[in-house]
Amino acid sequence: MSGQGKHIADIRSDYRMAALDEARAGDDPLALFMTWFSEAEAAEITEVNAMVLATCDSAGKPHARIVLLKGLDATGFVFYTNYNSAKGRQIAANPNASLVFFWKELERQVRIEGIIEKVSDADSDAYFQSRPADSRLGAWASNQSSQIADRQVLDDNYAKFKEQFGENIPRPEHWGGYRLVPQHVEFWQGRSNRMHDRICFQLSDGKWAKSRLAP
């Protein structure tokens, strides 16, 4: 298979920018994540907070999509969405989930696995009200993941809610935040000759255990 340029099978890069060793990784994966995130921001990576979120439905079938990281603290990774969406239904059926960041300009990947919980209503309200009015109306207008007849349905809904709410747009009950509480975090630093560094942290009895995996 080929596009305009090379055959897809011939596309490859060698990674030479940096290394990750056990000492540099430290003992706290959230601290290391924050360092890597700051470095990705400093490198002016676009959509630096975009992450793949993988969830499983009640039959164990996986589903993945991008969402935006909107909060991070010692308790976990926060994103916002529609609780009635496909992902919301999957999370309700199975709270195990996984996140992946890929910061290609730094030749880095971070994989996070854990359990998802809802954030408090107060946190969801505060974040919702910080969003531009257009986005707040969008949360009302889109019954996310449901099938719609055409684009007009969305535009009509948007106009209807704009008329209904005016300046005061409350948070819909079906829209809010989730926090992925991590149990496993892996930092991948690309190295030359496919001899990459992979440092993992596994939560066990409330403590992070660090190990190295073969690339």
Minimum CB distance to ligand FMN smaller for 69 or for 200: 69
3-state secondary structure of 180: strand
Which one of residues 68, 153, 154, 203 is an interface residue with ligand FMN (CB under 6 A)? Answer: 68
Shortest spacing between CB 60 and ligand FMN, in angstroms: 16
Residues in CB range of 54: below 8 A, 6 or more apart: 62, 63, 64, 97, 98, 99, 100
Residue 147 sits in the site that holds ligand FMN (CB under 6 A): no
On whether the CB atoms of residues 42 and 34 are closer than 8 A, the answer is no
Residue 56 sits in the site that holds ligand FMN (CB under 6 A): no
DSSP state of 212: E
Per-residue contact track with ligand FMN, 149 to 188, x per CB under 6 A? Answer: ----------------------------------------
**Which of 65, 108, 194, 212 does the annotation list as catalytic?**
194
Site for ligand FMN in 77-136 (CB under 6 A): 79-81, 85-87
Burial of 42 (0-12, 13-18, 19+ CB in 10 A): exposed
Burial of 104 (0-12, 13-18, 19+ CB in 10 A): exposed
Stretch that binds ligand FMN, among 64-72, 110-118, 196-204, 205-213 (CB under 6 A): 64-72
**Alpha helix positions (H), the chain:** 22-25, 29-42, 86-93, 121-130, 133-141, 151-165
Which one of residues 145, 157, 183, 202 is an interface residue with ligand FMN (CB under 6 A)? Answer: 145
Stretch that binds ligand FMN, among 16-24, 29-37, 60-68, 196-204 (CB under 6 A): 60-68
On whether the CB atoms of residues 154 and 162 are closer than 8 A, the answer is no
Indicate if 194 belongs to the active site: yes
On whether the CB atoms of residues 180 and 112 are closer than 8 A, the answer is yes
Minimum CB distance to ligand FMN smaller for 62 or for 215: 62
Which one of residues 18, 24, 28, 50 is an interface residue with ligand FMN (CB under 6 A)? Answer: 50
Minimum CB distance to ligand FMN smaller for 82 or for 189: 82
On whether the CB atoms of residues 129 and 171 are closer than 8 A, the answer is yes
- Tell me which residues touch ligand FMN (CB under 6 A): 47, 50, 63, 65-68, 79-81, 85-87, 144-145
Catalytic amino acids?
194
